[in-house]
Amino acid sequence: MSSPDRKEPPAHDDELQRPTGLGPNTKRRLHDSSVTFEEYHYYALRTRAREDADHGKQESGGRLSGVLFGREIKSDGARDENNNASFPAEGHASPRAAITADEWANASRALRTASWGAGFYLITTDILGPFGVPFAIGTLGWGPGLALFTAFALVASYSGFLLWKVYLGLDSTEYPLLNYGDIVLRLFGSFARHIVNILQVVQFIAITGQVIIQNGQGISQAARFRICYAVCCVIFTAVGFGVSQIRTLRNYGMISALAVCLNLLTIFMTMGVMAHSPPNFAISVLGSSGSATLPDTIAPDKQGHYPSIRHYGGLPNPNSLVGSINGLMQSVFAFGGAQMFVEIMAEMRRPYDFIKSLCAAQFFIWVVYLTYGCYVYHFQGQYTYQVAYQGVSIYGWQVVGDILVGISGLISAGLYSNIGIKVFYNNVLTDLLGAPPLTTRVGKLIWAVLVPLWWSTAFVVAASIPDYFGFVSVVAAVCILQFCYTFPPIIALGYSIRKNAMHRDDGFDPRTGVVTRCDDGPKRWIRGFFSGAWYVNVWHVVIAGGALATAGLGTYASIESMIETFQIPQVNAFTCTSPLDLRHAS
């Protein structure tokens, strides 16, 4: 790797000297595909060195507010309270030519205000996570449920570690990494970036729609079904319009702590109630683990008595894996935060500290969610409902759970819609249509218009699908599993090959903007794969292959479940009848 004061070696016949332009502080698009890996990596190393040097000047003095909310003091002693700095509009000539390198770096750093504590709360602020784990264990049984949930936890943590390592090697104040698609662009090109961005936008719309349906059901249940079900969903959507006007993840980090506390309160509440009351037998036919695996185990006899609670050490129904695989997809949501990791790191003052957020959050999720899942399954067995807190049989506590999760779900949906809208804005409106940065007045107005359009689209998509259980499984298999388990090892593999392929005389010269490579083509990539710890590259291929196979099984199972469900008249969110209305169930 070249350094600022290293002289470029003379070119030989087998060398490729590639001028990449005039350097980062000139008229360059942020998504310029002509920028090489060597240039990205050079400036990333320089940025990391600068962050290490500035770290001692940016300590928040150990104060709790500084740790949790990231109000860190910059090197000039001023706080960035309004986050007014902005990146240049992509798709236009960059204003980098009009500013110095230090001015550009300071503007880039001004957008990074979140601490590792805020990152912890952002990762643990999920939508379905804890309340789908008991159902997953119920469809898999004790042994497979505990083993697979732990396996998901380990692989998800490893995936986050891979994204963190690659991020540190590619992000810089000169070329900031803003989202998941930016990493893919720098390793695999523009086409791959567009595919990832489209998939990410689809995923965030689907997740936002999923939480609308979940909480629309909760509102209808809390109102004793006196309010039209469609109106309940619209009410939640309308409130989401206001929450999603928050544009920065730092501000979401401040309210994410509230969402985590509300989820914990709901967990403790349902655990206490379930220990002293029977399951909600009547709604078990609408989406319990028994209905997904062995429907006969939840069917009442002629006298209206329900079968006793049952537990399974292994798969409840080894002859049919569709229900168990669909249950497994619910566990994906528990560790489905990797699609946000890049965006979280992009707003951290010191991305190196993200590993602390990751380790703390993943351990927290594994301990709390697994404990909750086992506890609920112990007391409710095959009657464990797909949204655990709705399986409480006492109406008053049902309402408490609906209210608590409604508030935390609103925060979570706002977080996901925030990132989804940013991906859409930066990669469609800015790149293709030349929209101004979000930090400008016009950009803020466009954001205000996009928010209701985003939520309305999510509501229409989710409301059109009556099978909530199948809808969640499809989202998990097609989207979330890819971002959390398939893409990270592929990204790490691409980064390793490109980095290891660099010859000792290869590198980037910032003075001339020239990249020197001793060779190119298949020979270079083969050397990159087998150089260094080649067995790690093989391991990443295995992980990616296993994730793709799991995604295929999950997609097949969810589609089969939805086909079976659609053969029976179903209730969607465009009607006034709630799916939880027992009169409808009977």
Q: Is residue 49 part of a domain?
A: no
How far is residue 88 from each of residues 31, 173, 281, measured CA to CA in Å? 11, 13, 58
Domain count, the chain: 1
| pLDDT value at residue 282 | 86
| pLDDT value at residue 21 | 44
Share of the chain above pLDDT 70, in %: 78
CB atoms within 10 A of CB 81: 8
User: pLDDT by residue (tens digit) across 13-26?
Assistant: 334 444 444 445 44
Q: What's the average model confidence in pLDDT over 113-123?
A: 71
Q: Is residue 378 part of a domain?
A: yes
CATH number at residue 358: 1.20.1740
| Per-residue tokens: 295 | 């429907």
| pLDDT value at residue 93 | 39
| pLDDT value at residue 14 | 39
Task: Single out the residue of 400, 362, 401 nearest to residue 385, CA to CA.
Answer: 401
Look at residue 171 and tell me whether its pLDDT is greater than 80: yes
**Residue 519 or 468, more confident:** 519
Contact status, residue 193 vs residue 181, Cβ threshold 8 Å: yes
| pLDDT value at residue 343 | 83
Q: How far apart are the C-alpha atoms of 35 and 28, rounded to whole Å?
A: 9
Q: In the beta sheet, which residues pair with residue 509?
A: 514
Look at residue 537 and tell me whether its pLDDT is greater than 90: yes
Q: Is residue 421 part of a domain?
A: yes
Helix (H) or strand (E) holding 508: strand 507-509
Task: Single out the residue of 366, 375, 389 nearest to residue 149, CA to CA.
Answer: 366
| pLDDT value at residue 493 | 95
Q: What's the average model confidence in pLDDT over 471-488?
A: 83
| pLDDT value at residue 541 | 95
* Domain of 478, in residue numbers: 113-567
**Residue 557 or 312, more confident:** 312
Q: Is residue 23 part of a domain?
A: no
**Residue 184 or 8, more confident:** 184
| pLDDT value at residue 16 | 43
| pLDDT value at residue 469 | 63
Task: Single out the residue of 344, 452, 418, 353 nearest to residue 60, CA to CA.
Answer: 353
| pLDDT value at residue 112 | 60
| pLDDT value at residue 265 | 92
Q: How far apart are the C-alpha atoms of 396 and 404, rounded to whole Å?
A: 13
Look at residue 268 and tell me whether its pLDDT is greater than 60: yes
| pLDDT value at residue 168 | 93
Q: Is residue 516 part of a domain?
A: yes
Helices then strands, counting H and E runs in the chain, come out as 23, 3
Q: What's the average model confidence in pLDDT over 157-173?
A: 92
Q: Return the sign of the alpha-carbon dihedral for residues 455, 457, 460, 464.
A: negative
Residues in the chain, overall count: 586
Q: Please, how many CA atoms are within 13 Å of residue 108, restricted to the half-sphere of its CB?
A: 25
| pLDDT value at residue 540 | 95
pTM of the predicted model as reported, rounded to 2 decimal places: 0.79
Q: Is residue 443 part of a domain?
A: yes
Q: Is residue 225 part of a domain?
A: yes
User: pLDDT by residue (tens digit) across 403-430?
Assistant: 898 888 888 888 788 888 888 887 777 7
Using a 10 angstrom Cβ sphere, with 0-12 exposed, 13-18 middle and 19 or more buried, the burial of residue 237 is buried
Using a 10 angstrom Cβ sphere, with 0-12 exposed, 13-18 middle and 19 or more buried, the burial of residue 396 is exposed
User: pLDDT by residue (tens digit) across 38-56?
Assistant: 889 999 999 888 887 776 5
Look at residue 586 and tell me whether its pLDDT is greater than 50: no
| pLDDT value at residue 183 | 92
Look at residue 378 and tell me whether its pLDDT is greater than 90: yes
Classify 302 as helix, strand or coil: coil
Amino acid 388 reads A
Q: What's the average model confidence in pLDDT over 238-255?
A: 75
Helix (H) or strand (E) holding 19: strand 16-19
| Per-residue tokens: 203 | 């995923």
Q: What's the average model confidence in pLDDT over 315-320?
A: 86
Share of the chain above pLDDT 90, in %: 19
Q: How far apart are the C-alpha atoms of 245 and 451, rounded to whole Å?
A: 7
| pLDDT value at residue 60 | 44
Question: Whole-number mean pLDDT of the chain?
Answer: 78
Q: What's the average model confidence in pLDDT over 365-393?
A: 91
Site of tokens 């759970």: 401
User: pLDDT by residue (tens digit) across 340-358?
Assistant: 888 888 878 788 889 998 8
Look at residue 380 and tell me whether its pLDDT is greater than 90: yes
CB atoms within 10 A of CB 568: 8
Contact status, residue 478 vs residue 562, Cβ threshold 8 Å: no
pLDDT band at 65 (very low <50, low <70, confident <90, very high): very low
Q: Write phi, then psi, for 457 (nearest 5 degrees).
A: -65, -45
Using a 10 angstrom Cβ sphere, with 0-12 exposed, 13-18 middle and 19 or more buried, the burial of residue 44 is buried
Pairing of strands 514-517, 507-509: antiparallel
**Residue 394 or 229, more confident:** 394
| pLDDT value at residue 55 | 64
Q: Is residue 150 part of a domain?
A: yes
